[in-house]
Structure 1
Amino acid sequence: MKAIVIGAGMGGASAGIALRNFGWQTEIYEAVAQVKPVGAAISIWPNGVKCLNFLGLQRQIKAIGGDMASMAYQDYQSGQILTRFPLRPLVDRVGEFPYPTARAELQSMLLDEFGRGRVFLNKRLIQLEDNGSQVTAGFADGSTATGDLLIGADGTHSMVRRHVLGHDVKRRYAGYVNWNGLVEIDEAIAPANQWTTFVGQGKRVSLMPVAGRRFYYFFDVPLPTGLKQSRDTSRKDLKRYFTGWCAPVQRLIEQLDPMATNRVEIHDIEPFSTLVRGRVALLGDAAHSTTPDIGQGGCAAMEDAVVLSLSLRAHSLGVEDALRRYQESRVERVTSLVLKARKRCDVTHGKDPLATRQWYHSLEHETGEHILNGMAETILGGPL
Structure 2
Amino acid sequence: MKPLDIAIVGGSLGGLFVAILLRQDGHRVRVFERSTHGLEGRGAGLVAQADVFAMLRAIGGEAAAEVGVVAQERIFFDRSGAIAHRQATPQMQMSWDNLFRVVRGGLGDDAYLQGRTVTNAATRADAAVLTFDDGSTEAADIIIGADGIGSIVRRAVVGGAAANLYAGYVAWRGLVPENTLPAEAAILLDRFAFYIAPQSHALGYSVTGPYGEMARGERRYNWVWYRRVAGDALPGLLTDRSGHTHPFSLAPGQTPDAVAAQLRSDAAALLPPAFAAAVAAEPHPFVQAIFDYEAPRMATGRLALLGDAAFVARPHTAMGVAKAAADAMALRDALRGGSVDAALNGYERARMAEGAAIVAYGRRLGAELG
TM-score normalised to the size of structure 2?
A: 0.82
Quote the residue 1:165 is aligned against: 158
Cα deviation code 1:124-178 (max 9, x no counterpart): 2234343333222222223332222110111112111111113252221111121
RMSD of aligned alpha carbons: 2.3
Counterpart residue number, 2:64: 60
What's the secondary structure of 2:366's corresponding residue? helix
Question: Does structure 1 conserve the Cα–Cα contact (< 8 Å) formed by 2:64 and 2:98?
Answer: no
SS of the equivalent of 1:317 reads coil
For residue 94 of structure 1, what is the aligned residue in structure 2? Answer: none
Describe the shift of the 1:33–1:78 C-alpha distance in structure 2 as closer, same or farther (beyond 3 A). Answer: closer
User: 1:219 matched to which residue of 2?
Assistant: 225
Question: 2: CA distance between counterparts of 1:279 and 1:322?
Answer: 10
Distance 2:107 2:45 in 1: 20
* Structure 2 Cα separation of the partners of residues 150 and 291 of structure 1: 26
Alpha-carbon spacing, 1:286–1:196, altered in 2? closer, same or farther (3 Å):
same
The structure 2 residue matched to 1:81, chosen from 70, 80, 84, is 84
Give the 3-state SS of the residue equivalent to 2:173 in structure 1: strand
Q: 1:308 to 1:190 in 2, by over 3 A?
A: farther
1:243 deviates by 0.6
Which residue among 247, 262, 273 is the counterpart of 1:236? 262
CA gap 1:196/1:162 in 2 versus in 1, 3 angstroms: same
SS in 2 for 1:28: strand
> Tell me, what secondary structure is at the counterpart of 2:358?
helix
Letter aligned with residue 136 of structure 2: S
Partner of 1:317: 338
Structure 1 contact 100–208 (Cα < 8 Å) conserved? no
**What residue in structure 2 maps to residue 21 of structure 1?**
24
**Match for residue 47 of structure 2 among 41, 44, 49:** 44
What is the correspondence of 1:287-298 to structure 2 with a 5 Å cutoff?
287-298=310-321
In structure 2, C-alpha distance between the alignment counterparts of 1:205 and 1:42, rounded to whole Å: 16
1:200 alignment partner, one of 197, 200, 203: 197
User: 2: distance between equivalents of 1:330 and 1:133?
Assistant: 24
Match of 1:281 in 2: 304
Counterpart among 94, 105, 108 of residue 112 in structure 1: 105
- Match for residue 305 of structure 1 among 322, 325, 328: 328
Q: Structure 1: state its 5+ residue gaps.
A: 89-97, 352-384
SS of the equivalent of 1:193 reads: coil
Counterpart check, 1:99 vs 2:103: no
1:12 Cα offset (Å): 0.8
Which residue among 341, 345, 350 is the counterpart of 1:329? Answer: 350
Percent same amino acid among aligned pairs? 22
- Partner amino acid, structure 1, of 2:288: V
Verify the 8 A CA contact 1:44 1:299 in the aligned structure 2.
no
Q: Give the superposition deviation at 1:13.
A: 1.2
- The one of 129, 132, 143 aligned to 1:139: 132
| TM-score calculated relative to the size of structure 1 | 0.79
Alpha carbons of 1:138 and 1:78: their partners in 2 closer, same or farther (altered >3 Å)? closer
- How far did 1:44 drift? 3.3
Could you report, residue by residue, the CA deviation over 1:63-95 in whole angstroms, capped at 9, with x for unpaired residues?
A: 2x222343232223333232322247xxxxxxx
Write the distance in 2 (CA, Å) between the matches of 1:238 and 1:157: 29
SS of corresponding position for 1:67: strand
* CA deviations over 1:288-341 (Å, ceiling 9, x no partner): 01221211122211211111112212xx21122111111111001010001110
Moved more, 160-169 or 39-48: 39-48
Tell me which residue corresponds to 2:246: none
- Alpha-carbon separation, structure 2, partners of 1:71 and 1:308: 36
Q: Call closer, same or farther: CA 1:40–1:131 in 2, change over 3 Å.
A: closer
Q: Which amino acid aligns with 2:279?
A: I
- For residues 316 and 10 of structure 2, the distance between their equivalents in structure 1, rounded to whole angstroms, comes to 24
| CA separation of 1:324 and 1:236: change in aligned 2, threshold 3 A | same
Unaligned runs of 5+ in 2: 214-218, 239-254
Query: Following TM superposition, by how much is the alpha carbon of 1:207 offset from its aligned partner in structure 2, in angstroms?
Result: 1.3
**Contact residue 128 and residue 142 of structure 2 kept, 8 A:** yes
- Superposition deviation, residue 39 in structure 1: 4.8
Shift of 1:34: 2.8
Pair 244,331 (structure 1): closer, same or farther in 2 beyond 3 Å: closer
How far apart are 1:241 and its partner, in Å? 4.5
